[in-house]
């Protein structure tokens, strides 16, 4: 498969999966979700570790509003959030160790990618935000993964405040596991250790950990319904499209 939105390389049993849409600040579109899921399906058979990376200055900025507008102008129904939720489930429960290597800005659905991973390593430029409520939306699909990682109140606070959380605070909250100015060296040290684990052991461990806590699967239907509701709201869509055209946020009349 030729990939348009990601770059992939394998180093023995380690897969490096880079989100690569520099022209769109690594926004999430349907193609990116499809390609990531295809790579992870290969990793289920052949990888013990998956390293998920973004660009040096931006990890992922969330939903692609341009694709949303084009879909709306074609008269299409609201796009289902289920493929994206299932992609994050693959990262959270797949038979490999998923590592998010984060540099730069992480917003909205980008936080979902990070929160779904088993290990999060960041450099000093990393910052995390949930901007959805600014547009009348909500991070419905992100929150089950973020609550699991950082706790209910921290996730609730991030969603309400919509402001960026710096990496040191994210470390204290449990969203980040390790950070340093040179995050590549921290990643290398983790890989030296993790590559010694067998795929069978990793798969058993991940399966058992997922069985201990079923909240991701239990939250799925409610998350999908909530996400569909807010992206179906004509007022929300009007505010998003005006922001794209003028740069004005919905309350800036």
Tokens at 127, concatenated: 């910052």
Q: Give the contacts of 77 (CB within 8 A, at least 6 positions apart).
A: none
233 tagged catalytic: no
Cα separation, 154 vs 156, in Å, equals: 5
Question: CB neighbours (10 Å) of residue 247?
Answer: 8
Cα separation, 136 vs 133, in Å, equals: 5
132 tagged catalytic: yes
CB 102 within 8 A of CB 114: yes
| Active-site residue, from 35, 53, 123, 132 | 132
DSSP structure class, residue 63: B
Total residue length of the chain: 253
Tokens at 149, concatenated: 């990682």
Identify which of 21, 23, 232, 38 has the alpha carbon closest to the alpha carbon of residue 110: 21
Q: Which helix (H) or strand (E) holds 50?
A: strand 49-53
DSSP structure class, residue 74: T
| Active-site residue, from 64, 118, 123, 177 | 64
Identify which of 144, 111, 113 has the alpha carbon closest to the alpha carbon of residue 130: 111
What are the DSSP E strand ranges found in the chain? 6-11, 14-19, 49-53, 58-60, 97-102, 105-107, 119-122, 127-129, 165-166, 178-179
Tokens at 236, concatenated: 């929300």
Question: CB neighbours (10 Å) of residue 199?
Answer: 17
Query: Which amino acids are annotated catalytic?
Result: 64, 132
């Amino acid at each position: 498969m030729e990939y348009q939105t990601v770059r992939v390389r394998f180093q023995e049993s380690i897969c490096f999966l880079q989100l690569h849409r520099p022209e769109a600040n690594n926004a999430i579109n349907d193609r990116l979700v499809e390609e990531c899921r295809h790579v992870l399906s290969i990793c289920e058979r052949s990888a013990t570790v998956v390293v998920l990376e973004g660009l040096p200055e931006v990890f992922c900025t969330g939903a692609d509003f341009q694709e949303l507008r084009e879909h709306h102008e074609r008269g299409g129904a609201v796009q289902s959030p289920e493929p994206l939720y299932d992609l994050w489930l693959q990262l959270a429960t797949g038979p490999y160790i998923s590592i998010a290597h984060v540099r730069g800005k992480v917003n909205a659905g980008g936080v979902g990618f990070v929160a779904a991973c088993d290990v999060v390593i960041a450099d000093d430029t990393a910052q995390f935000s949930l901007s959805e409520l600014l547009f009348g939306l909500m991070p419905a699909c992100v929150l089950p993964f973020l609550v699991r990682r950082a706790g209910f109140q921290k996730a609730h606070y991030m969603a309400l405040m919509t402001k960026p959380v710096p990496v040191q605070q994210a470390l204290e909250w449990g969203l980040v596991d390790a950070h340093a100015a040179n995050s590549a060296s921290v990643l290398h040290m983790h890989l030296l250790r993790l590559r010694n684990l067998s795929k069978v052991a990793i798969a058993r461990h991940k399966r058992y950990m997922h069985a201990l806590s079923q909240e991701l699967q239990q939250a799925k239907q409610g998350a999908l319904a909530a996400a569909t509701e807010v992206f179906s709201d004509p007022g929300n869509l009007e505010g998003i499209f005006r922001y794209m055209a003028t740069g004005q946020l919905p309350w800036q009349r």
